[in-house]
Amino acid sequence: MASSLHIKGIRKAFGKGDKTVEVLKRIDIDVAPGEFLILVGPSGCGKSTLLNIIAGLEEPTEGELHIAGRNVIGMPPAQRDIAMVFQSYALYPTMTVADNIGFALEMRKVPKAERDKRIHEVAEILQIGHLLDRRPAQLSGGQRQRVAMGRALARDPQLFLFDEPLSNLDAKLRVEMRAEIKRLHHVSGITTVYVTHDQIEAMTLGSRIAVMKDGILQQIGTPDEIYRRPVNTYVAGFIGSPTMNFIPGRVEKAGEGGRFVFDGGALDLPCPDGPAVTLGQRPEHIHLAADAAWRGEVVLVEPTGADTYVVVKTPVGLITVREPANTRVRVGENVGMTVSGRHNNWFDQTSGARLTAMDSSSLFVG
């Protein structure tokens, strides 16, 4: 049963007077029924607090929260009909897997026969049927994760909340579980809010991503929008690995046949009005070119198997360039660089804000 979620003007502050700390400044997000929204950002950005507020584990200082049209502020978690998966799984250690999964149903006085049926259904979906009689301590990390998800799934709630559920798993398991979560969302269609600090998880899992920093929503959009049209240098630098290269400089000539000059080089490409701007280029949009005017010295070569990342030291900073795996560049070489010129991100040098027309899907917050 998919429901919508409306976050309206949520603010959370601690302390009084001039010692007030605003953990969430003013958050407005509309989540459509069945959507998979990711809340991503560094530690301390407020994403977990926001999740707790949605869950009812914390109360906001101001604002409204509507789940399926009802304002749930003030309602205890048990009545919001939500399910949550925690980073540490939070399985009840003295109960069996089956009891863990069925606990919430037990609290809602669902008759035993129906409960058992549902537990088995869920165990089937998650392939943990053979673990039903075990205790959490006897399970591996991945198995515990599945049980935690089973517990949430058994509820058939209005909303699924995930709080960094994959952080405690090793890399390989994480990839597996990511696929599992995506599959479950596809099968169940339940509206999901998922918190993570890992931008790869964000990009692969979400239908929409909300990037947060210091309690402010920086940008909300599809993975594609966030990646290709980040709304400020923070979002641009946060999403994408390796990070986008930032080149601060001056617009010498604006417009289609423009020219951008910076310490140690200049580029001919369409420029905004400027004058003091920062150009952002992702490593895949910069290429090594033997006879280019913009030059630097190679300080690091990182082969990843499929590609090789070349880090070049230039007067304007370290520039990371993505080259094919068979490149023969070596550390210490002097190389030239060009940009493709078709994927330019321009940011105001002082504020870091994006300097082009606003998209309908991005949120521009000062």
Partner 1 sequence: MTVKSLTPGRVFTYGLLLVAALFFLAPLYVMIVTSLKDAEQIRSGNLLSLPTTLSFESWHLAWNSACTGVDCRGLQPYFWNSVLMAVPAVLISTAWGAINGYVLSMWKFRGSEVLFGFLLFGVFMPFQVVLLPMSQVLGVLGLSSSIAGLVLVHCLAGMAGTTLFFRNYYTAVPRELVNAARIDGAGFWRIFWRIVLPMSTPIMMVTLIWQFTNIWNDFLFGVAFSGADSKPVTVGLNNMANTTSSVKAYNVDMAAAIIAGLPTMLVYVLAGQYFVKGLTAGAVKG
Partner 2 sequence: MKSFENLLPKLVIAPGFVLGFAFIYGLMIWNGVLSLTGSRMLPNYENFVGLEQYVQLWSMDRWYVALKNLGIFSVLYVGGSMLVGMVLAIFLDQKIRAEGWLRTIYLYPMALSFIVTGTAWKWILNPSDGLQKLVQDLGWSSFSFDWLVQSDYAIYCVVIAGVWQSAGFAMALFLAGLRGIDDSIVKAAQIDGASLPLIYWRIVLPILRPVMFSIILVLSHLSIKSFDLVMALTAGGPGYATDVPATFMYTMSFTRGQIGLGAASATMMLATVAAIVVPYLYSELRSKPHDR
CB of 86 to partner 2, least distance (A): 14
Pairing between β-strand 36-40 and β-strand 191-196 as defined by DSSP bridges: parallel
What is the spatial distance between Cα 209 and Cα 40, in angstroms, rounded to a whole number? Answer: 7
Question: Is 79 near partner 2 (CB under 8 A)?
Answer: yes
Tell me the number of residues near partner 1 by CB under 8 A: 24
**Which residue is associated with the tokens 């920093």?**
213
In the set 74, 111, 305, 332, which binds partner 2 (CB under 8 A)? 74
Options 3-11, 54-62, 121-129, 198-206: segment touching partner 1 (CB under 8 A): 54-62
In the set 88, 138, 140, 356, which binds partner 1 (CB under 8 A)? 88
107 touches which of partner 1, partner 2, none (CB within 5 to 8 A by kind)?
partner 1
Q: What is the helix (H) or strand (E) element at residue 279, kind and residue range?
A: strand 276-281
H-helix segments, 76-111: 97-107
In the set 74, 76, 111, 324, which binds partner 1 (CB under 8 A)? 76
DSSP lists the bridge partners of residue 296 as 335
Question: Is 15 near partner 2 (CB under 8 A)?
Answer: no
**Nearest by Cα to 108 from 71, 79, 133:** 79
What is the spatial distance between Cα 233 and Cα 286, in angstroms, rounded to a whole number? Answer: 18
Question: Is 167 near partner 1 (CB under 8 A)?
Answer: no
Options 103-111, 246-254, 307-315, 346-354: segment touching partner 1 (CB under 8 A): 103-111
Question: Is 183 near partner 1 (CB under 8 A)?
Answer: no
Question: Would you state the structure tokens that stand for residue 148, as one six-digit string?
Answer: 């935690």
Number of helices and strands in the chain (H, E): 8, 20
Chain residues binding partner 1 by CB under 8 A are 55-57, 76-78, 82-84, 86-88, 90-95, 103-104, 107-108, 151, 155
